[in-house]
């Protein structure tokens, strides 16, 4: 699949780095089904390309890295839109980011919330613009990620902070994200991509096989969370069909405060 075949992303190879850019700035780089499908194809292309030694994942523009699933699309159609496979394969994308035997660098250029926050957490390292903001939004819009997005996040920032991030849906600036270990480095906005490319060039000088074994060793400690992720995705499919979840999506689209309590079945 060449660059011209993508609609929702851009895929470019520059030296040893594959740069994957989510290109939906009109929706704050939120992903629909097609976006996820194209991201999967791009990561697989980077995996197969012997020239590529590292992958950089970023978002178009300066406002958003990724704001997760396209809630407006879900409110309009009840799903995340059509795909070639007929499936919404966000779980497979999560696994692919972990499994590709090359370092994945998140270059967070703006807001990284919801499913977009999960994507950056799953990347091997994160470099953030000073203007970046991080947080979760699932419980605010009738969604959740009870797999890697919660359990693995707790490994990154600790149990107490991970619970705060999910239960209160606050946003954190880049400096605070760096202090909690959520990002590796904070740079001025104009230096973000150049810094990510420099990191890619530096790791490209290392032994690819050694890097591959290191990444697989790091992943081995948390690979059991893939089972939790599969359960969570199945649960989310059921939850998104519920009145409670529908209320979250509708309230987001209508820019009003959701009334979850009247939709909850407490029995």
pLDDT, tens digit, for every residue of 182-196?
A: 999 999 999 999 999
Average pLDDT, integer, range 235-257? 85
List phi, psi (to 5°) of 250.
Answer: -65, -45
Range of weakest confidence among 109-118, 163-172, 218-227: 218-227
Each residue's pLDDT tens digit, 83-96: 888 888 999 999 99
Query: Is the pLDDT reported for residue 2 higher than 50?
Result: no
Residues making up the binding site for substrate: 80, 111-115, 143, 255
Between the two ends of the chain, the Cα-to-Cα distance in Å is 50
Beta strands 171-173; 133-135: pairing state: antiparallel
Q: What's the DSSP call for residue 25?
A: G
Tokens (6 digits) for 8: 């929702």
Q: What is the pLDDT of residue 256?
A: 92
C-alpha closest to that of 132 among 47, 189, 199, 210 = 189
Q: What is the pLDDT of residue 172?
A: 98
Burial class (CB in 10 A: 0-12, 13-18, 19+), 123: buried
Is 211 in contact with 203 (CB distance < 8 Å)?
yes
Average pLDDT, integer, range 214-225? 92
Q: What is the pLDDT of residue 248?
A: 85
Residues making up the binding site: 80, 111-115, 143, 255
Distance (Å, whole) CA 34 – CA 80: 8
Tokens (6 digits) for 147: 């797999």
How many CA atoms lie within 13 Å of 45's alpha carbon, on the beta-carbon side?
19
Burial 80-109 (b: 16+ CB within 10 A, else e): bbebeeeebbbbbbbbbbbebebbbbbbbb
Q: How far is CA 183 from the centre of its chain?
A: 14
pLDDT band (50, 70, 90) for residue 4: low
CA distances from 68 to 17, 35, 58, 143, 161 (A): 24, 11, 13, 11, 20
Distance (Å, whole) CA 1 – CA 217: 31
Distance (Å, whole) CA 51 – CA 216: 20
The per-residue DSSP string of 34-102 comes to HHHHHHHHHHHHHHH-TT--EEEEEESTTTEEE-SB-HHHHHHHSSS---SSSS--HHHHHHHHHHSSS
Q: What is the pLDDT of residue 225?
A: 84
Percentage with pLDDT > 70 across the chain? 98
Distance (Å, whole) CA 24 – CA 26: 5
């Amino acid at each position: 699949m060449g660059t011209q075949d993508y609609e929702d992303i851009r895929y470019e190879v520059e030296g040893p780095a594959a740069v994957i850019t989510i290109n939906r700035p009109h929706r704050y780089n939120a992903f629909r089904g097609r976006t996820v499908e194209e991201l999967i194809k791009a990561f697989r292309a980077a995996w197969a390309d012997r020239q590529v030694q590292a992958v950089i994942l970023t978002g178009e523009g300066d406002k958003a890295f990724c704001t997760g699933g396209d809630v407006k699309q879900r409110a309009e159609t009840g799903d995340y839109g059509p795909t070639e496979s007929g499936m919404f394969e966000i779980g497979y994308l999560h696994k692919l980011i972990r499994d590709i035997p090359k370092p994945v660098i998140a270059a967070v250029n703006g807001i990284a919330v919801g499913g977009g926050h999960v994507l950056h957490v799953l990347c091997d390292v994160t470099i953030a613009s000073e203007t970046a903001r991080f947080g979760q939004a699932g419980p605010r819009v009738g969604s959740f990620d009870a797999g890697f997005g919660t359990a693995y996040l707790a490994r990154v920032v600790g149990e107490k902070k991970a619970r705060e991030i999910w239960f209160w849906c606050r946003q954190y600036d880049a400096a605070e994200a760096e202090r909690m270990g959520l990002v590796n480095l904070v740079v001025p906005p104009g230096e973000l991509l150049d810094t990510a490319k420099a990191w890619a060039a530096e790791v490209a000088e290392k032994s690819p096989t050694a890097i591959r074994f290191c990444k697989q060793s790091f992943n081995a400690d948390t690979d059991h969370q893939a089972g939790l992720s599969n359960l969570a995705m199945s649960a989310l499919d059921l939850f998104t069909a519920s009145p409670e979840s529908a209320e979250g999506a509708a309230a987001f689209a209508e820019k009003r405060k959701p009334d979850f309590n009247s939709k909850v079945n407490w029995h």
